Amino acid sequence: MNKCADIDECRGYTAVCDRNAWCTNTIGSYQCECMAAYRGDGSHCTFVGLGRSSLDCRDCSPNATCENGICQCKPGFEGDGFNCTDVNECFRMPYACDKNAECLNREGSYICSCLPGYAGNGYNCTKTKIANNFGTTDAMEDHVISSLIWKHVSKCVRLQTFWLELAIGSNGTILIILR
């Protein structure tokens, strides 16, 4: 009676698995499986990233994308793909905004907003000019308004790319503040 011995195809140079795959010997054959961060059939494996993998994308964070079973956090978020947290760009990039602006962290992003007395897009802010009773313009911080009693009549209202605020002076002067 002849006995057949199994040959371990995973030993030596007889295996046909990709160098980035695990070879598992089976009776009369072998199987190749790509290592973590690689995808393919085991004979050919391609690097796809170091994110954690999921057989279906349901386990990925809502703030992640899933491609080829790999969950990766979206820009503005960090983590392993299953748990993605917001990056505070204001903390990480303290000079992203103009020196006369404040940085406001947002979910997955940030915005720059000019400080009161300055106007612009937050990345470039200049002193706000206002008209005085003589038809000239002065920098807001140089304009004397303390001699009047001001009644604040509106809260800040966002209009497209700037904020608007109104006040009426005791002499009827209307002050419009744009931010």
Secondary structure of the chain in the HEC alphabet?
CCCCCCCCCCCCCCCCCCCCEEEEEECCEEEEEECCCEEECCCCEEECCCCCECCCHHHCCCCEEEECCEEEECCCEEECCCCEEECCHHHHCCCCCCCCEEEEEECCEEEEEECCCEEECCCCEEECEEECCCCCEEEHHHCCCCCCCEEECCCCEEECCEEEEEEEECCCCEEEEEC
Q: What is the pTM of this model?
A: 0.44
Give domain status of residue 98, yes or no.
no
Instruction: Give me the pLDDT at residue 50, please.
Output: 64
In-domain check, residue 96: no
Q: How many domains does the chain have?
A: 3
Same domain, 55 and 22: no
Range with the poorest average pLDDT among 15-24, 57-66, 109-118 = 15-24
Q: Quote the distance between the C-alpha of residue 92 and its chain's center.
A: 12
Could you tell me the sign of the dihedral formed by the alpha carbons of 156, 158, 163, 166, in that order?
A: negative
Region of poorest pLDDT, from 4-18, 24-38, 87-101, 126-140:
126-140
User: 60 and 42 in one domain?
Assistant: no
What is the mean predicted confidence (pLDDT) over 47-56?
A: 64
When mean pLDDT is compared over 87-96, 146-155, 165-174, the highest value belongs to 87-96
Of residues 178 and 8, more confidently modeled: 8
Measured distance CA(62)–CA(85) in Å, rounded: 10
Residue 2 has pLDDT above 60, yes or no: yes
Instruction: Read off the pLDDT band of 64 (50, 70, 90).
Output: very high
Residues 121 and 162 in one domain: yes
CATH number for position 21: 2.10.25.10
Structural domain containing residue 148:
115-178
**Do 40 and 59 share a structural domain?**
no
pLDDT, residue 168, reads: 61
Determine the Cα–Cα distance for residues 164 and 178; give it in Å rounded to an integer: 5
Is the model's pLDDT at 159 over the cut of 60? no
Q: What is the pLDDT of residue 16?
A: 78
Instruction: Please answer whether residues 74 and 81 qualify as being in contact, where contact means their C-beta atoms are separated by less than 8 angstroms.
Output: no
The reply to whether 33 and 71 lie within a common domain is no
Inform me whether the pLDDT recorded for 66 exceeds 90. no
Q: Are residues 14 and 42 in the same domain?
A: yes
119 within a domain of the structure (yes/no) = yes
Polymer length in residues for the chain = 179
Instruction: Give yes or no: residues 21 and 40 share one domain.
Output: yes
Distance from C-alpha of 23 to C-alpha of 26, rounded to nearest angstrom:
10
Same domain for 69 and 36: no
- Asked if 36 and 60 sit in the same domain, the reply is no
Residues 32 and 83 in one domain: no
